């Protein structure tokens, strides 16, 4: 019994921490970033709530101007009501509920398939990623590629382009970086920089091709990027067996090129021998950079204008074709950078001939969609997904396949699509009714007494 | 000539599923709902179908010696279940994108993420695989091929092509192609579907229930994707491990290539499958094999060729105008 109680306690605490984390995250996001596309349909509700809010504030001010001593208290109250009425708070609630439902679904599947170890499984799912310094480092390291492919998807979608090709751009970037690593001889850091540049350029070209086809020949970017994915993996298969780079012993591209390894700057020691390297910092910086490009620069403005309405932007004198190509090239470069970090690390993924499209591009889509295509949000969602996956690795011991992580991620994404229902339920005060039944009865009683 | 028939056999086996799924994609997009979830629906449909074949086959004692009717009955029942599974999964997508007017990419991505993970998870955790700890479910694909169909196999050309070492999927696929054309272009329902994909407001103004019509399109697409996934697995693979090799996305590409029209889609799928099969079936074409292209180059060929063809033919391509745009009654 005591162990079950312990486990439940741990679950509660971790849920609480998770909730806090998400709430604070959303707070920061929404404060610095105005409401985005998804919530466009709710302006009426927001306006109403704002009106109500202001009314209430006015009332409060009318009633309590005399009691100046208690002003601090009222300020606090006001703050609380403000927060509770604000649309931001509502979207936290929605996000938290989505994640909880997603995890609950995962738990349900675990209970159905193997009830005996389901609680142990849930515990591992929550705290598995924190089991050691090393695993924390690995979570961060694994977040890098999907963060960058997520950015690749999000960036193109700002221009109204649907980039399914992040996988191809990712893998082509990786193979060219590896070629630069194997075939060039340069001093340590410079060599690495050259490799990064090669990877980014290759990815950018791979992304730009469907962009060019879209801009000049009206070839849908959906079909273009899908085709480029496959052309990419077969190109990689051909390039991988080229003798100077090929390691026939392990049947993959050789990796003993220490001058081109991504610098670890002692991070591996901090994180107990994890595979983390400088990539996580660069990825975060890149995400912030993308945020500023989209938000503050003319280029970003033009790209978004093309995304909102190509005819309007054309009328405003924006060169649509140039912007489509630029957007795809930058997206490709981002995905290519992801490939560089995944395959050029000191303990990298191994590149050999491949017959199926690598999953990182599609994971990037999940990452981007969970963050509503917001660059800063992508930093957190990629770490979150990476954490879930890392935790799920520890589930194998208690008899669950690690794919449960993807099931949970899928449920959370689907809940994001259903967020409208959740917010309707919240608006109708479903939970309030659930919890505040008793007071109402008391009120009724009082009324009866008065009568 | 046997080289030719062998090659055509390979071709048909990969062409039919691709065409069926592409037609499924078209049914959905004609009604105005983008369905990128095809890949996921195919995976789950195939999973359910393959499981039915495995356990039903075991229950009725299906083996190489059982009667043709029994074997084909099991095959068809598996296909039915695959279609039902496809409809159920598509229902999720339809609900999110039609009723809730959500971003249609989000729920589709959720399904695409869910499907392979769920299949592998269930196979591993419930030990559904061939042996304990394996993520592969065996597929008795050879059983479903007919060896000899009496007089039908003796018809010159056609007998060799369709009635030797082929299976029912070929006929079902062709039936689906024709049915989809008739439904879309010769019935009232088809007209309504197309109207909802082009201009839902206008359709609504003349009393068409846009939601219902879009539901029909999306669910039909789910059923076809489920069937297509099942056909693909039972046609080509000996084991099923939760993947359909990107055919869902390829089908979308084929649909765009075919300009959202049934027979053009069939042509596009044929073009594409023909080039795809070149890589695996090159042994049947001696003069091409002698040219000595590497296998990877051949595998790359269909994708490059498709892009090149599209460069010439895309200028006039136009999908349904309201495709991917959520519709909300009474405006928003």
A231–B253 C-beta distance less than 8 A:
no
Task: Of A223-232, A293-302, B27-36, B150-159, give the lowest mean pLDDT range.
Answer: B150-159
Across A185-194, average pLDDT: 90
A366–B113 C-beta distance less than 8 A:
yes
Q: Does B181 touch chain A (CB under 8 A)?
A: no
Of B103, B121, B294, the CB nearest to A407: B121
Residue A39 has pLDDT above 70, yes or no: no
Q: Mind telling me how many Å the CA of A53 is from chain B's nearest CA?
A: 24
Cα separation, A164 vs B249, in Å, equals 9
Q: Does B270 touch chain A (CB under 8 A)?
A: no
Residue B318 has pLDDT above 80, yes or no: no
Cα separation, A385 vs A260, in Å, equals 28
Q: What is the pLDDT of residue A3?
A: 52
Count CB atoms within 10 A of the CB of residue B159: 16
Hey, CA dihedral for A362, A364, A367, A372, is it positive or negative? negative
The percent of residues above 90 in pLDDT, for chain B, comes to 45
Q: What is the pLDDT of residue B243?
A: 86
B315–A413 C-beta distance less than 8 A:
no
A421–B125 C-beta distance less than 8 A:
no
A223–B252 C-beta distance less than 8 A:
yes
Residue A78 has pLDDT above 90, yes or no: no
Q: Mind telling me how many Å the CA of B168 is from chain A's nearest CA?
A: 28
Of A237, A355, A406, the CB nearest to B117: A406
Count CB atoms within 10 A of the CB of residue A421: 16
Q: What is the pLDDT of residue A435?
A: 59
Chain A environment of B122 (Cβ under 8 Å) = 113
Of A355, A362, A401, the CB nearest to B124: A401
Q: What is the pLDDT of residue A15?
A: 58
Q: What is the pLDDT of residues A267-286, one digit of tens each?
A: 888 888 888 999 999 999 99
Interface test with A, best of B26, B237, B279, B307 (most A CBs within 10 A): B307
Interface test with A, best of B43, B109, B321 (most A CBs within 10 A): B109
Residue B316, SS3 per DSSP? coil
Q: Mind telling me how many Å the CA of A359 is from chain B's nearest CA?
A: 10
Across A407-432, average pLDDT: 78
Q: What is the pLDDT of residue B260?
A: 92
Find residues 116-145 of chain B whose CB sits inside 8 Å of chain A: 116-118, 120-122, 124-126
B249 compared with A55, residue with greater pLDDT: B249
Give the pLDDT band of residue A448 (cuts 50, 70, 90). Answer: low
Among the listed residues B95, B118, B116, the one whose alpha carbon sits nearest the alpha carbon of residue B107 = B95
Cα separation, B125 vs B127, in Å, equals 6
Count CB atoms within 10 A of the CB of residue A32: 10
Mean predicted lDDT score pLDDT of chain A: 80
Cα separation, A418 vs A87, in Å, equals 17
Burial code of B62-92, b = ≥16 C-beta within 10 A, e = fewer? beeeeeeeebeebbeebbbbbbbbbbbbbeb
What is the complex's ipTM, to 2 decimals?
0.86
Name, in order, each residue with C-beta under 8 angstroms of A382's C-beta and a sequence gap of 6 or more. A143, A144, A146, A147, A150, A367
A369–B106 C-beta distance less than 8 A:
yes
In chain A, the residue whose alpha carbon lies closest to the alpha carbon of B108 is: A414
Q: What is the pLDDT of residue A399?
A: 81
Interface test with B, best of A224, A236, A405, A414 (most B CBs within 10 A): A414
Q: What is the pLDDT of residues B252-280, one digit of tens each?
A: 989 988 989 999 999 999 999 998 888 87
Of B96, B126, B246, the CB nearest to A357: B246
Give the pLDDT band of residue A19 (cuts 50, 70, 90). Answer: low
Q: Does B106 touch chain A (CB under 8 A)?
A: yes
Residue A192 has pLDDT above 70, yes or no: yes
SS (H, E, C) A289-355: HHHHHHHHCHHHHHHHHHHHCHHHHHHCCCCHHHHHHHHHHHHHHHHHHHHHHHHCCCCCCCCCCCC
B64 compared with A339, residue with greater pLDDT: A339
Residue A42 has pLDDT above 50, yes or no: no
Provide CATH 1.10.3470 ranges for chain A. 132-405
Across A348-374, average pLDDT: 87
Mean predicted lDDT score pLDDT of chain B: 88
Residue A450 has pLDDT above 60, yes or no: no
Q: Mind telling me how many Å the CA of B304 is from chain A's nearest CA?
A: 7
B310–A217 C-beta distance less than 8 A:
yes
Give the pLDDT band of residue A57 (cuts 50, 70, 90). Answer: very low
Cα separation, A18 vs B37, in Å, equals 30
Chain A environment of B113 (Cβ under 8 Å) = 362, 366, 406, 409-410, 413
Residue A114 has pLDDT above 90, yes or no: no
B44 compared with B157, residue with greater pLDDT: B44
The H or E element containing residue B240 is: strand B239-240
B106–A413 C-beta distance less than 8 A:
yes
C-alpha B315, offset from chain centre:
27
Cα separation, B114 vs A140, in Å, equals 23
Chain A environment of B118 (Cβ under 8 Å) = 109, 403, 407, 410
End-to-end alpha carbon distance in chain A:
52
Across A47-63, average pLDDT: 45
In chain A, the residue whose alpha carbon lies closest to the alpha carbon of B310 is: A219
Chain B environment of A41 (Cβ under 8 Å) = 101, 328, 332
B126–A234 C-beta distance less than 8 A:
no
Q: What is the pLDDT of residue A48?
A: 43
Give the pLDDT band of residue A45 (cuts 50, 70, 90). Answer: very low
A162–B106 C-beta distance less than 8 A:
no
End-to-end alpha carbon distance in chain B:
62
Q: Are the C-beta atoms of A228 and A170 separated by less than 8 Å?
A: no
Angle at which helix B295-313 crosses helix A221-240, to 10 degrees, equals 160
Across B50-61, average pLDDT: 90
Q: What is the pLDDT of residues A247-274, one digit of tens each?
A: 888 888 888 888 888 888 888 888 888 8
Q: Mind telling me how many Å the CA of A80 is from chain B's nearest CA?
A: 31
Of A217, A238, A416, the CB nearest to B311: A217
Cα separation, A388 vs A406, in Å, equals 8
Contacts 24+ apart (CB under 8 A), B125-134: B125/A113, B125/A114, B125/A399, B125/A400, B125/A401, B126/A113, B128/B51, B128/B54, B130/B239
Q: Does B250 touch chain A (CB under 8 A)?
A: yes
In chain A, the residue whose alpha carbon lies closest to the alpha carbon of B95 is: A418
Across A395-406, average pLDDT: 85
Give the pLDDT band of residue A50 (cuts 50, 70, 90). Answer: very low
B296 compared with A239, residue with greater pLDDT: A239
Q: What is the pLDDT of residue A38?
A: 44
Residue B260: phi, psi to the nearest 5?
60, 30
Phi-psi region of B142 (alpha: psi -120 to 50; beta: other; left: phi over 0): alpha
Of B116, B249, B306, the CB nearest to A164: B249
Class of domain A132-405: mainly alpha
Residue B251 has pLDDT above 90, yes or no: yes
Residue B239: phi, psi to the nearest 5?
-135, 155
- Tell me whether residue B239 is exposed, middle or buried, using C-beta atoms within 10 angstroms of its C-beta: 0 to 12, 13 to 18, 19 or more: middle
Among the listed residues A229, A432, A185, the one whose alpha carbon sits nearest the alpha carbon of residue A339 = A229
Q: Mind telling me how many Å the CA of A244 is from chain B's nearest CA?
A: 19
A275 compared with B314, residue with greater pLDDT: A275
Residue A27 has pLDDT above 70, yes or no: no
The CA-based diameter of chain A, rounded to the nearest angstrom, is 96
Give the pLDDT band of residue A60 (cuts 50, 70, 90). Answer: very low
Name, in order, each residue with C-beta under 8 angstroms of A392's C-beta and a sequence gap of 6 or more. A125, A128, A400, A402, A403, A404, A405
Name, in order, each residue with C-beta under 8 angstroms of B197's C-beta and a sequence gap of 6 or more. B29, B30, B31, B32, B217, B320, B321, B322, B323
């Amino acid at each position: 019994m005591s162990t079950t109680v312990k486990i439940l306690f741990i679950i509660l605490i971790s849920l609480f921490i998770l909730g806090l984390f998400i709430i604070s995250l959303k707070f920061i996001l929404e404060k610095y970033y105005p409401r985005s596309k998804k919530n466009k349909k709710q302006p009426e509700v927001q306006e109403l709530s704002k009106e109500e809010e202001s009314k209430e504030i006015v009332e409060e001010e009318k009633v309590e101007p005399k009691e100046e001593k208690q002003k601090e208290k009222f300020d606090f109250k006001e703050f609380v009501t403000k927060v509770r009425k604000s649309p931001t708070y509502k979207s936290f609630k929605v996000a938290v509920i989505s994640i909880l439902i997603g995890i609950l679904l995962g738990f349900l599947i675990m209970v159905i398939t193997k009830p005996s170890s389901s609680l142990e499984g849930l515990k591992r799912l929550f705290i598995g990623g924190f089991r050691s310094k090393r695993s924390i480092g690995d979570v961060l390291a694994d977040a890098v590629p999907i963060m960058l492919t997520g950015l690749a998807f999000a960036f193109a979608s700002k221009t109204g382009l649907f980039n399914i090709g992040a996988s191809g751009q990712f893998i082509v970037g990786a193979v060219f970086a590896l070629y630069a690593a194997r075939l060039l001889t340069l001093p340590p850091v410079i060599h690495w920089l050259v490799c990064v540049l090669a990877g980014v350029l290759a990815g950018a070209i791979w992304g730009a091709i469907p962009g060019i086809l879209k801009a000049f020949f009206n070839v849908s970017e959906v079909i273009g990027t899908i085709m480029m994915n496959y052309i990419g993996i077969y190109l990689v298969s051909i390039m991988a067996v080229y003798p100077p780079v090929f390691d026939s012993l392990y049947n993959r591209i050789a990796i003993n090129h220490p001058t081109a390894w991504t610098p670890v700057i002692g991070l591996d020691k901090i994180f107990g021998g994890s595979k983390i390297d400088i990539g996580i910092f660069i990825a975060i910086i890149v995400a912030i950079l993308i945020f500023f490009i989209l938000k503050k620069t003319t280029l970003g403005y033009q790209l978004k204008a093309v995304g909102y309405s190509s005819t309007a932007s054309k009328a405003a004198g924006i060169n649509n074709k140039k912007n489509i190509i630029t957007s795809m090239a930058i997206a490709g470069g981002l995905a290519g950078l992801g490939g560089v970090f995944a395959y050029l690390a000191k303990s990298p993924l191994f590149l050999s001939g491949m017959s199926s499209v690598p999953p990182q591009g599609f994971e990037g889509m999940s990452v981007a969609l969970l963050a509503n295509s917001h660059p800063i949000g992508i930093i957190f969602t990629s770490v979150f997904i990476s954490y879930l996956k890392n935790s799920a690795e520890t589930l194998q011991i208690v008899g669950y396949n690690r794919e449960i992580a993807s099931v949970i991620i899928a449920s959370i994404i689907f809940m994001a699509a259903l967020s409208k229902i959740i917010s309707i339920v919240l608006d109708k005060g479903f939970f309030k009714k659930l919890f505040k039944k008793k007071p109402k009865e008391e009120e009724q009683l009082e009324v009866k007494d008065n009568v | 000539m046997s080289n030719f028939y062998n090659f055509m056999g390979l071709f048909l086996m990969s062409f039919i599923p691709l065409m069926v799924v592409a037609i499924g994609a078209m049914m959905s997009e004609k009604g105005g709902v983008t369905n990128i979830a095809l890949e996921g629906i195919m995976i789950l449909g195939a999973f359910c179908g393959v499981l039915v074949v495995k356990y039903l086959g075991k229950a009725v004692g299906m083996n190489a010696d059982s009667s043709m009717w029994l074997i084909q009955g099991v095959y068809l029942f598996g296909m039915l279940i695959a279609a039902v599974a496809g409809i159920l999964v598509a229902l999720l997508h339809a609900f999110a994108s039609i009723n809730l007017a959500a971003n249609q990419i989000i729920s589709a991505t959720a399904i695409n993420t869910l499907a392979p993970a769920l299949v592998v998870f269930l196979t591993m955790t419930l030990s559904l695989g061939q042996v304990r700890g394996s993520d592969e479910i065996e597929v008795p694909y050879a059983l479903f091929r007919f060896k000899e169909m009496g007089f039908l196999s003796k018809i010159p050309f056609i007998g060799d092509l369709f009635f030797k070492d082929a299976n029912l999927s070929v006929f079902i696929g062709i039936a689906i192609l024709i049915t989809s054309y008739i439904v879309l272009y010769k019935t009232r329902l088809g007209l309504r579907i197309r109207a909802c994909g082009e201009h839902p407001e206008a359709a609504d103004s003349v009393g068409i229930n846009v939601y219902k019509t879009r539901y029909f399109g999306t669910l039909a697409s789910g059923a076809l994707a489920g069937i297509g996934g099942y056909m693909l697995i039972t046609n080509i693979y000996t084991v099923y491990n939760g993947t359909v090799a990107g055919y869902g996305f390829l089908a979308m590409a084929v649909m765009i290539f075919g300009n959202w029209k049934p027979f053009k889609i069939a042509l596009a799928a044929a073009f594409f499958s023909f080039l795809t099969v070149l890589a695996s079936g090159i042994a049947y074409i001696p003069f091409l094999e002698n040219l000595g292209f590497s296998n990877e180059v051949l595998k790359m060929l269909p994708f490059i060729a498709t892009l090149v063809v599209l460069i010439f033919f895309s200028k006039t391509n136009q999908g349904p105008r309201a495709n991917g745009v959520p519709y909300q009654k009474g405006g928003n």
